[in-house]
């Protein structure tokens, strides 16, 4: 039945849309390690989006490094660190935005919050690598950048995890905006690294910490 605004009861956007919390079993061997990181059962479509979208974004970041002259200034170690961090940020955003990985990190089980905390903690290595291997300036300034961004990430995690479920998404977006703007206002970085802070907090605050129902189905939204 439609209400006064013409909205129908049930899911009107897509007739065959359904929520699928069923998790396939973790595979054995090396593939099992991938499943424990990204979640078991990733679809071919998700992999394709990650591959093509990730390749395009990384190519654009490579163009940025060349156009800003960073490619010529960086040592081999710095270039390798920048490449690994960029691949992880871009790939992480796309992977954590997908149904399979998001479902894995937000299952109603004791292991899901632990997985989120571990992933957040591991990314402190990214902050340290950028601070001490890629950012110019003195050690004092770089330590300050590292500590401020660590505090922003920790505060965002606590606030988002504590927010009422209907408010989690806008709260996460508010935390994301604050983190990015704090960096823009007080901790500007060279042009070749402008991408890092937005992608870092997008990956961890928005893509990782915000739970979403894993939709399944083959139809498209009605226009």
Task: Please report whether residue 69 resides in a domain.
Answer: yes
Q: Measuring CA to CA, which residue among 79, 20, 81, 87 is closest to residue 50?
A: 87
Q: Can you say how many angstroms the Cα of residue 194 is from the centroid of all Cα atoms in its chain? A: 16
CA 170-155-188 angle, to 5 degrees, is 90
Task: Please report whether residue 188 resides in a domain.
Answer: yes
pLDDT for residue 214? 84
pLDDT for residue 10? 46
Indicate the DSSP class of residue 88.
Answer: H
Q: Can you say how many angstroms the Cα of residue 56 is from the centroid of all Cα atoms in its chain? A: 17
Note down pLDDT in tens along the chain; length 223 residues.
444 444 444 444 555 678 887 888 889 999 888 888 899 999 999 999 999 999 999 999 999 999 999 989 999 999 999 999 999 999 999 999 999 999 999 998 878 999 999 999 999 999 999 999 999 988 899 999 999 999 999 999 999 999 999 999 999 999 999 999 999 999 999 999 999 999 999 999 999 999 988 877 665 665 5
pTM: 0.89
Task: Please report whether residue 30 resides in a domain.
Answer: no
Task: Please report whether residue 5 resides in a domain.
Answer: no
pLDDT for residue 15? 54
Number of H helices, E strands in the chain: 10, 2
The domain total for the chain is 1
Task: Please report whether residue 84 resides in a domain.
Answer: yes
Strand partners, 18: 216
pLDDT for residue 7? 44
Task: Please report whether residue 2 resides in a domain.
Answer: no
Assigned token pair, 101: 């990985």
Cβ proximity of 153 and 116 under 8 Å: no
Cβ proximity of 191 and 68 under 8 Å: yes
Indicate the DSSP class of residue 8.
Answer: B
Task: Please report whether residue 222 resides in a domain.
Answer: no
Rounded Cα gap, residues 88 and 94, in angstroms: 10
Range of the domain at 204: 43-214
Task: Please report whether residue 8 resides in a domain.
Answer: no
């Amino acid at each position: 039945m439609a209400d006064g605004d013409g909205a129908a009861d049930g899911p009107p956007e897509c007739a065959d849309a359904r929520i699928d919390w069923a998790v396939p079993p973790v595979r054995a061997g090396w593939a099992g390690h991938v499943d424990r990181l990204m979640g078991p059962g990733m679809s071919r479509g998700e992999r394709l989006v990650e591959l093509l979208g990730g390749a395009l974004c990384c190519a654009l970041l490579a163009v940025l490094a060349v156009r800003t002259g960073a490619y010529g200034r960086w040592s081999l170690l710095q270039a390798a660190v920048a490449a690994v961090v960029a691949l992880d940020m871009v790939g992480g955003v796309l992977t954590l935005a997908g149904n399979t990985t998001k479902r894995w990190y937000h299952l109603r089980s004791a292991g899901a919050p632990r997985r989120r905390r571990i992933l957040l903690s591991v990314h402190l290595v990214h902050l340290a690598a950028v601070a001490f291997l890629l950012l110019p300036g003195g050690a004092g300034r770089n330590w300050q950048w590292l500590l401020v961004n660590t505090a922003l990430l920790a505060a965002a995690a606590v606030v988002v995890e504590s927010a009422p479920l209907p408010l989690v998404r806008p709260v996460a977006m508010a935390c994301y905006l604050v983190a990015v703007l704090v960096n823009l206002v007080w901790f500007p970085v060279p042009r070749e690294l402008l991408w890092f802070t937005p992608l870092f907090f997008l990956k961890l605050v928005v893509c990782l910490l915000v739970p979403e129902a894993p939709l399944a189905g083959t139809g498209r939204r009605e226009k």
